[in-house]
Amino acid sequence: MAIESICTGCGKTLSVADENAGKRARCPACGQVYTIPSKGDTPSSGIGYPSTYTADEGVPPEAVQYWMRAVDGSEYGPVDQATLDRWFHEGRVGPGYQLRQSQYGNWQPADIFRPAMPHGSGNPFAETTYHGNPYQASDPTTSRPYYPKGDQGVIILIMGVLGFFCCPIFGLVAWIMGHSALNAIQAGLADPSTKGLVQVGYYLGIAGVILGVLCFGLQLLGALAGMVG
């Protein structure tokens, strides 16, 4: 006999041997990891084409990744189970938010993934009308918002200046770091107040690399002209 269940990531109907009930498994189609239901809890039918998969007790909860989409379409993640549970407990997951498990899973109502709350804590959806970036919840020990990516504006600016006036290698570093930092700011993972410094260092870095290439090219042309002459 086999247990049939529907993957919450891609909607495929999956089957697995009865002895694997309650174990963690990974869907072969989308990579989503979830717990195999018991025989009595298994839906009688599902969508998609039948597929088999192997239970995998070796998939730790911290290896499962989640993506979240806010009501304005902004997306955040990936985050692990512990971070997602913390967002729920702190009320950072607002009404109308959606979650998906694995990069290619289907979006589902966030309340499906809500962990059990301590007795008397209530439902966080009923206590908040949060519509912001979950990464920007205030740190209780300071008045500054919390961002998972550190501030890099100053070091990128320094690298950009050194790259423009001294060595293009520093400019290349500023170029790479600046591009990454600007993407993090755009995604809400880094402090937007540092964007000005990051942009200045980023563009100085690009200019330094271009200038260095031009200087090298002129020197090479001069050397070739000297050899020909």
192 half-sphere exposure, CB direction, 13 A CA radius: 6
The pLDDT value recorded for residue 196 is: 92
Question: Among the listed ranges 98-102, 185-189, 194-198, which one has the minimum average pLDDT value?
Answer: 185-189
Q: Name the residue with higher pLDDT: 48 or 121.
A: 121
Looking at residue 76, its pLDDT comes to 82
Listed residue (80, 139, 67, 149) closest to 110, CA to CA:
67
Contact 144, 134 (CB under 8 A): no
Structural domain boundaries enclosing 41: 2-59
Distance of alpha carbon 93 from alpha carbon 70, whole angstroms = 8
Query: Within the chain, how many helices (H) and strands (E) appear?
Result: 5, 9
In a domain, 125, yes or no: yes
**Model-wide pTM > 0.75:** no
Q: Are residues 47 and 91 in the same domain?
A: no
Whether residue 84 is found in the same domain as residue 127: yes
50 and 67 co-located in one domain: no
Of the segments 4-18, 70-84, 130-144, 190-204, which one has the largest average pLDDT value? Answer: 190-204
Structure confidence at residue 202 as a pLDDT band (50, 70, 90) = very high
Question: pLDDT band at residue 44, thresholds of 50, 70 and 90?
Answer: very low
Please choose, from the candidates 24, 112, 114, 36, the residue with its C-alpha nearest in 3D space to the C-alpha of residue 62: 24
Please count the structural domains in the chain. 3
Q: In the predicted model, is pLDDT for residue 130 greater than 50?
A: yes
Instruction: Specify if 148 maps to a domain.
Output: no
